[in-house]
Structure 1
Amino acid sequence: MSNSNNPTSSSPPSPSTKKSQWPFTFLTITISFPVILAAIAYQLDSFDPGAYPIEHTSSKEPMYVPKRNSNMLEGVEKIGEGKLLGPEDIAYDKKMGVIYTGCSDGWIKIIKLGSNLVVEEWVNTGGRPLGMVLGQHGELVVADADEGMLNITADGKIHLLTKEAEGLEFKLADGVDIAENGILYFTDASYKYKFKEYIWDILEGRPYGRLLSYDPQTKVTKVLVRDLYFANGVVVSPDQKSVIFCETALKCCKRYHIEGEKRGSVDMFIENIPGTPDNVMYDGEGYYWIALTTGQGTLWDLALKYPFIRKIMGIIEKTVGRPHMEKNGGALAIDLEGRPVAHYYDQHLSMVSSSIKIGDHLYCGSVAKPYMIRLNLTQHPAVADA
């Protein structure tokens, strides 16, 4: 019997069948190859992110803020464009009517307020000046990421105050404020990573930050709080009973008690902030202003929760560079009890590192932009949702 009608018999594929299979095979190889390479790179990379505290990675409802301005850039003015390279923090001298700010080229510059804003060079620290505050005798105290805690006299002479605590040098001196008794409170954002490596501290997700104090009378530096996740901005409460400090990676601010029954203890001041907090400042009118480098984002929320996503982000950082994902930066105003009052932001705004209300204006510094911005709050207020 012939096999021509046998259903189990087979014949070699025709040339046309081979041609139809070839594009599919090529596409499969094209797609699979980079996936395989990525999987190999992931396995071989030694970067090993840790897990952030579970209470900060669980899903929460967005923070309710009674008043908002979500188009902040529509009313801002740029100050010192091209003359202020990364003006990170703001120190306001009310008597002199000037703002001090530290730039990425090491210069501390003075902005003379008035009808005509004038920018002048003052002192170059030779490092990267970040947080700063006016002292009690006309000096400027600066947290320099590279040089440590500095005292700069009114005539521009630089003196090192402290550069280490408990035998461990600061890698990233960051925020600073001064109490009425002269004691400085400041942060070392990371004792592992330097300023230019800050993204690795956040991606690694381990607590290398510290809150410290320095007494200029005894010249003693103390570690007050350890194991912080990128400790950042610092402000002494107006009643001098506590210090508020930010943990950027956890999107919260905590409170360290320096007086009273809770002295030496830490509690949560405000959490679930709608973005990553940088510096925090008191405006003298009953409100703290928290600068937000970027707003909330799904990717960052997932990265906070899953270390493997941060590892992938680290590999991308090393191989092709970091994509620009920051948006909705701005400023959050809260009252002295930590309750949100007003949120100023814009989807095209990012890398805001400091914010403070001076008169009718909100001034915002930036860790990366070549200018400072200000917004007239009377003309462009935050308003309640309709």
Structure 2
Amino acid sequence: MSSSESTNARTRTASWFSTPFFVIVLPVAVAALLYRLEPFKPVLLPVQLGRSTVAVPARNGHMQDGSERVGEGHLEGPEDLAYDAAARVVYTGCEDGWIKRVTVNDSVVDSAVEDWVNTGGRPLGLVLKPNGELIVADAEKGLLRVSSEKEIELLVDEFEGLKFKLTDGVDIADDGTIYFTDASHKYPVKDAVFDVLEGKPNGRFFSYNPATKKTTLLAQDLYFANGVAVSADQQFVVFCESVLMRCNKYFVLGPKTGTIEKFCDLPGMPDNIHYDGQGHYLIAMFTALSPELELAYRYPFIRKAFAMFTKYVGSLSISKNGGVLVVDLEGKPTAHYYDPKLALTSAIKIGNHIYAGSIFYPFVTRFDVEKYPALPTV
């Protein structure tokens, strides 16, 4: 090779590392290779989710305006809430394993936070029994019973040899039967986002009979089974599927016993659902179907890219317009409270206030629905 040819070769090589080829093409090529090697394989969803067509007669799209922060700095990701009206305290499960009690006062400044009991896992769904016992869906430990003396008892953590990976929502019927969900038998709570992005039905819905200690599988192949609420008339149990943005009802009494029907469609991804004792259910949603999510739901390869980013770079912030949908006993929406930057995982009604938990915040949100009502949409 002549001196001039050698110089030209070096120039061409150098240009690769100082032009868009190296700056753009090479990283894209590496990313494409990593994409092919990544074993995570999302699938098409069984239904095509589009922009919400849920008609709601009243809305408040600025729920954070006027909201208050309860227990700020003393709560780590308070996911679900259970209210003891006699003691005027709210129980909530936190990321550090503590179930804490928050006093309910007129002023949030006077709302003290007490470390009540630590499960050693990640308590999610909670329901309080009349005798003061707390039933806990602990994502890591399984279904637990905590006595009023703070004694923890494991009720069940597997079914037919398959361990629960993400025990999630829970409620109790008047006859003592406990209904609960295992959101995913594949992914633990720390990897819950991958279950959502994968698009496969890994969730299950169970009942547990405390008298016989028998666990019964009621429904399987669910798309991230989440919150649970026994109906006011005890005829059916509502359970939520986060990925499909809907709640279903499983009939436990009457001629339809053992069958499942749709309870309601939602404008977002639901978490916990609670009956308010006054003819309404409050369904917390951690996000609406944003344009980013809608695109990802349509194309599995985008969900794979999201998953890779989460796995190798960091979490994606795609929550938008989370809040609370209020529905009647038939599942028909009556009011929608939300905010562009809000993400909620539970909601209960205490007096004029909605108290809302969230795994994303270090506090419980309190919102006065009479002072800041949902306004008619027509």
Whether contact under 8 Å (2:52, 2:267) holds in the other structure is: no
What is the TM-score of this pair, normalised by structure 2? Answer: 0.93
**2:197 matched residue in structure 1:** 203
Alignment correspondent of 1:246: 240
One-letter identity of the residue aligned with 2:127: V
TM-fit CA distance, 1:30: 2.6
Looking at structure 2, the residues matched to 203 and 288 of structure 1 have their Cα atoms a distance apart, in angstroms, of: 27
Q: Which residue does 2:210 correspond to in 1?
A: 216
2:60 aligned partner: 69
Aligned in 2, Cα 1:61/1:181: closer, same or farther, shift over 3 Å?
A: closer
- Aligned residue in 1 for 2:122: 128
Q: Match for residue 19 of structure 2?
A: 26
How far off is 1:134 after superposition? 0.9
CA distance in 1, matches of 2:88, 2:22: 66
In 2, the alpha carbon distance for the partners of 1:323 and 1:216 equals: 41
1:164 and 1:58 map into 2 onto residues whose CA distance is 32
Supply the distance in 1 between the matched residues of 2:129 and 2:163 (Cα, whole angstroms): 23
* Aligned equivalents of 1:246, 1:281: Cα separation in 2: 11
- Given candidates 334, 357, 370, the residue that maps to 2:349 is 357
TM-score w.r.t. length of structure 1: 0.91
The answer to whether the aligner puts 1:379 opposite 2:364 as a matched pair is no
> Which residue does 1:313 correspond to in 2?
306
SS in structure 2 at match of 1:114:
coil
1:247-303 CA-to-partner distances (Å, cap 9, x unmatched) read 0111111111101111101111112x1111000000001110000111220111121
Q: Distance in 2 between matches of 1:243 and 1:368?
A: 27
Q: 1:81 aligns with which of 67, 72, 96?
A: 72
Alpha-carbon distance change, 184 to 306 in structure 1, aligned in 2, over 3 angstroms? same
What's the C-alpha RMSD, in Å, of the aligned pairs? 1.8
Instruction: Summarize the alignment of residues 239-318 of structure 1 with structure 2, pairs less than 5 Å apart.
Output: 239-271=233-265, 273-318=266-311
Q: Is the 8 A contact 1:364 1:372 kept in 2?
A: yes
- Residue in 2 aligned with 1:137? 131
Q: Is the 8 A contact 1:136 1:182 kept in 2?
A: no
**Residue type of the partner of 1:337?**
E
CA distance in 1, matches of 2:68, 2:114: 18
Tell me the equivalent position of 2:3: none
The one of 156, 164, 175 aligned to 1:181: 175
Alpha-carbon distance between aligned partners in 2 of 1:323 and 1:169, rounded to the nearest angstrom: 29
For structure 1, the residue ranges without an aligned partner over 5 or more in a row are 1-14
Q: Which deviates the most, 314-323 or 250-259?
A: 314-323
Per-residue CA shift, 1:153-174, capped at 9, x if unaligned? 1111111111111221111110
Q: Residue 311 of structure 1: SS of its match in structure 2? A: helix
Unaligned runs of 5+ in 2: 1-7
User: Structure 1 stretches (4+) deviating beyond 4 angstroms?
Assistant: none
Total equivalences in the alignment: 364
Instruction: Report the secondary structure of 1:203's partner residue.
Output: helix
Q: Deviations over 1:208-247 (max 9, x none)?
A: 1000000000000111001001100000000000000110
Greater CA drift, 111-120 or 290-299:
111-120
1:345 is the counterpart of 2:338: yes
Q: How does 1:99-138 map to 2 (within 5 A)?
A: 99-115=90-106, 116-138=110-132
Q: 2:83 aligns with which of 78, 89, 92?
A: 92
Give the Cα separation in 2 of the matches to 1:38 and 1:78: 42
Preserved CA contact (<8 Å) 1:86 1:366: yes
Aligned residues: percent identity? Answer: 49
**Looking at CA atoms only, which structure, 1 or 2, has the larger radius of gyration?**
1
**Residue 7 of structure 1 aligns with which residue?**
none
SS at match of 2:64: helix
| Conserved? CA contact 1:106–1:126, under 8 Å | yes
Amino acid in structure 1 at the alignment position of 2:328: D
Q: Distance in 1 between matches of 2:350 and 2:56?
A: 22
Shift of 1:101: 0.6
Q: Work out whether residues 276 and 294 of structure 1, in 8 Å CA contact, stay in contact via their aligned partners in 2.
A: yes
Q: Report the alpha carbon displacement of residue 376 of structure 1 after superposing the two structures with TM.
A: 0.8
1:85–1:60: structure 2 CA closer, same or farther, 3 Å change rule? closer
Distance between the aligned counterparts of 2:104 and 2:71, measured in 1?
12
Secondary structure of the structure 1 residue equivalent to 2:228: strand
Output the amino acid matched with 2:86.
Answer: K
Q: Distance in 2 between matches of 1:43 and 1:165?
A: 35
Q: Give 1:189 deviation, angstroms.
A: 0.5
Helix, strand or coil at the partner of 1:250? coil
**Residues of 2 paired with 1:121 and 1:181: CA distance?**
31
Q: Which amino acid aligns with 2:350?
A: I
Cross-structure match for 1:190: 184
Query: Contact conserved, 2:223 with 2:244, CA < 8 A, in 1?
Result: yes
In structure 2, the CA distance between the partners of 1:58 and 1:332, relative to structure 1 (3 Å rule), is closer
Q: Deviations over 1:315-339 (max 9, x none)?
A: 1112211221212111110111111
Task: State whether residues 49 and 294 of structure 2, in contact with CA within 8 Å, keep that contact through their aligned partners in structure 1.
Answer: no
Distance 1:110 1:61, change over 3 A: closer
